[in-house]
A and B are shown apart, each in its own frame.
Chain A
Amino acid sequence: MEALQGIMPEKSVLIFMGVNILMAWGFWIMIATGQLSLGNSAFMALGAYFSGVITVKLKLPLPYAFLGAIVIGAVSGAIVGWPALRIRGIYLAMATIGVEEVLQIFFKNFEYTGANVGFNGMRGTTVELVYGVVFVFFLFLLKLSNSRFGRAMEAVRSDEVAASAMGLNPTYVKMVAFIIGAVMSSIAGVLYAHFMFFIAPEHFGLMQSIYPVLFVTLGSVETFWGAAFGAIVLTLLPEYLRFMTEWRIVLYGVLIVLVMAVRPQGIISRSVVVRIRNIFKGSTPSRRPQPAVAPSGPSGQGSS
């Protein structure tokens, strides 16, 4: 164990990593149906505060907090997601920023949960719990991406009109995806709050919404593996860059700029997943999808 001390991340880092993976997936499932949300920290905040009220104010055990978070995540996801169906792209991003900002101001003024001062008393998150939850969602996403609904999501993202012409209901697909994403973010909020012990409105600012976007774009928008990969790398990187504390944020920024410039589709894109899967299956490269994914080829190879 002594030798591992320097290499193994601390407990708090592991927990943040799990929370970040959940946030990344929450964002990913929305973007997987073409919905760019920059307000997921709002769902995270709702989950955190609501579950905090359940465990601290009502003194109920933690499982109720999860139940509450699922409910509040689904309800708020529906409330935000339903009108948001009218708008898309950058407009949706801005509307969700608006929601996030308004909610932030609400929590800053809501005396019941401590307003600006913050709200404390939540405890109970363990590493095992976090990774249990992550595993459950992992299985869920794995199942989803091979299911009818997963393919429907893909169809809606690539071409909504064509998808509806083929008998899919894009409104339903997008709505469900948005709600699932909101629930995931909300559960991430529960885990976060019950580990931090103390939460304040500024923990759930816009930056908390932007991190998942970074995770997903670094990893790749195309697969949920990529989202998890991005979350893991970007959580661990600052830890291992600690020896250069002074400059790590600069380096972080430079890294993002570089990855975006060299490999805009992210590191774990679909072609990479297929290639890795083929290694495990031992099948020939002929099963690789057609060269439509090739643009990632020559320029991206050098960096990855």
Chain B
Amino acid sequence: MQQVINGLMLGSMYSLVAIGYTLVFGLLNLLNFAHGDVFMFGGFIALFILLSLKLPLFVAFIGAMVGCGILGFVLELVCFRPVKKEYHLAPALGTLGFSLVVIELTTKVWGTEPVSLPASVEVINFQVGNVLISSVQILILAVAIGLMASLEFLILKTRLGRALRAVAEDPNTAKLLGVNSVRIIVAAFVISSALAGAAGILLALRLGLANPNIGFTYGLKALAVMAIGGLGNMRGALVGGLIIGMAEVLTVAFGSATYSDVVVWTALIAILLFKPSGLLGTRLQEERR
């Protein structure tokens, strides 16, 4: 039971990051390699707000999301917008360059070692039966679920969401019908980065520290999660995240820690080979192959 809760926690974090990937990928067919580092940066913004400005946690949350949103905007501006449509690989590599810059600047400011969060963030533990749940875990779950629910609402019920879906389905037709696709793309980058920022602060809370090297490992795993769920499919990313989080925690619990990553990657390879559209892949994912 304890493991299930840990798995949920880890899984919801993966889901948040993977949904960010998915949002951009579903829209542009673009792998955003900088996403993992935007996620990492969220943790550091939170650290800055908590440690240097000594503001409460919820301000740190908003700060991380806004800060990462801005970062996402800049990312779109420098890596995606100037590149012509015919070149598929170029923007993806541009994001790779961007991520180098983000990591480097972060380590310039905070050093290359993980930095601990202040102890002022109180951790209260609850005992339910024989399961120990900390307030951080509750917070993580609540925030993750809240964000995913609001994103779902945004995509399905609002004007912006409709435009997003239209551009994802067929950018040209959407443009003909009067959708401002440039603005939509910016919105996708900002939302996806803000989600990554939120996930970044959640991870920092969970680990009790902000680590500049984390973007790569978590970014990669979230990438795997996205592919397992179905590229560009938001619910797929959610389900994929939970499955991977669970699988990882359970292999650590019942097997050995060294092989938890093997499980993730072999699952990825197997999915790609036997059901390339992903677990919850739809026609749209099938076409994109």
Contact = CB atoms under 8 A, between A and B. Distances in A.
Interface of A: 36, 83, 86-91, 93-95, 97-99, 101-102, 105, 108-109, 206, 210, 213-214, 217, 221, 246, 249-250, 252-257, 260-262, 264-265, 295
B272 A257 contact: no
Nearest to B274: A86
Nearest to A214: B93
Contact of A36 (B82, B89, B265): B89
A94 B272 contact: yes
A286 B208 CA distance: 66
B231 interface: yes
A83 B289 contact: no
Contacts of A108: 258
A221 B87 CA distance: 11
A249 B89 CA distance: 21
Contacts of A102: 262, 265-266, 269
B101 A87 contact: no
Given A250-B101, A250-B104, 6 more contacts: A90-B231, A97-B224, A206-B216, A253-B98, A257-B79, A261-B82
A86 B276 CA distance: 9
A94 B225 CA distance: 11
A253 B100 contact: yes
Given A95-B268, A256-B97, A256-B100, A86 B273 contact: yes
A224 B254 CA distance: 49
Interface of B: 25, 29, 31, 78-79, 82-84, 86-87, 89-91, 93-94, 96-101, 104-105, 108, 216, 220, 223-224, 227, 231, 258-259, 261-262, 264-266, 268-269, 272-273, 276, 288-289
5 contacts: A91-B227, A94-B224, A252-B100, A261-B78, A265-B87
A96 to B, nearest CB: 9
A120 B273 CA distance: 36
Nearest to B227: A94
Given A102-B266, A105-B259, A249 B104 contact: yes
B99 to A, nearest CB: 8
A262 B96 contact: no
Contacts of A89: 288-289
Contacts of A101: 220, 261, 264-265
A256 B91 CA distance: 10
Of A93, A210, A252, A256, the most chain B CB neighbours within 10 A belong to: A256
B273 A87 contact: yes
B61 to A, nearest CB: 28
Nearest to A213: B93
A256 B96 contact: yes
Nearest to B216: A206
Contact of A206 (B105, B220, B269): B220
A255 B94 CA distance: 9
Contacts of B79: 257, 260-261
A109 B258 contact: yes
Contacts of B25: 90
Closest 6 CB pairs of A and B: A256-B97, A253-B100, A264-B90, A264-B87, A253-B101, A260-B94
Contacts of B29: 90
Nearest to B232: A90
A259 to B, nearest CB: 8
A261 B272 CA distance: 31
A89 B86 CA distance: 15
Contacts of B224: 94, 97-98
A97 B86 CA distance: 24
